[in-house]
């Protein structure tokens, strides 16, 4: 099974993991690593390297991060570029995390990345847009 390492600033990763467990229960091949302001880039690098070593080496690994260009993203990117089959996705939200944890079985890292990007785009919406879709999906029948 594809491994997922979730990381981000502050308590982002542990908070998302807690919400995920509340909804989906415990997940295998999943590690969450926070980057609190008291940490360092070197410490985060050690933690992510340890997480990579902990996950099944035979499977691809996806790093899910909070912000494009932030320290968790940069460290994950450095590790991802060291071996084929590793992907990094920025802008992770709870909907993306939940859907992709459920759908990751049998996906390669690349297939996961492509599906996650679609999921992320689909999950960003507004009440007005959703109400508009409901109206479009329920056309009013014309009378005689």
| Tens digit of each residue's pLDDT (9 = 90 or more) over 7-23 | 999 999 999 999 999 99
Q: Name beta bridge partners: 10.
A: 35
| Tens digit of each residue's pLDDT (9 = 90 or more) over 21-32 | 999 999 999 999
Angle between helices 94-103 and 109-123 (to 10 degrees): 140
Enter the pTM of the model: 0.88
Topology given in CATH for the domain delimited by 1-135:
Rossmann fold (3.40.50)
**Domain ranges in the chain?**
1-135
């Amino acid at each position: 099974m594809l491994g997922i390492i979730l990381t981000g600033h502050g308590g982002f990763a542990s908070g998302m993991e807690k919400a995920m467990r509340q909804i989906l229960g415990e997940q295998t091949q999943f590690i969450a690593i926070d980057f609190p302001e008291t940490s360092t880039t070197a410490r985060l690098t050690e933690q992510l390297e340890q997480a990579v070593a902990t996950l099944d080496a035979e499977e691809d690994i996806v790093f899910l991060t909070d912000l494009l260009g932030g320290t968790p993203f940069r460290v994950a990117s450095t590790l991802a570029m060291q071996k084929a089959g590793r992907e990094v996705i920025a802008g992770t939200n709870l909907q993306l995390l939940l859907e992709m944890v459920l759908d990751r079985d049998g996906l390669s890292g690349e297939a996961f990345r492509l599906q996650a990007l679609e999921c992320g785009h689909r999950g960003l919406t507004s009440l007005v847009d959703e109400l508009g879709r409901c109206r479009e999906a329920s056309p009013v029948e014309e009378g005689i």
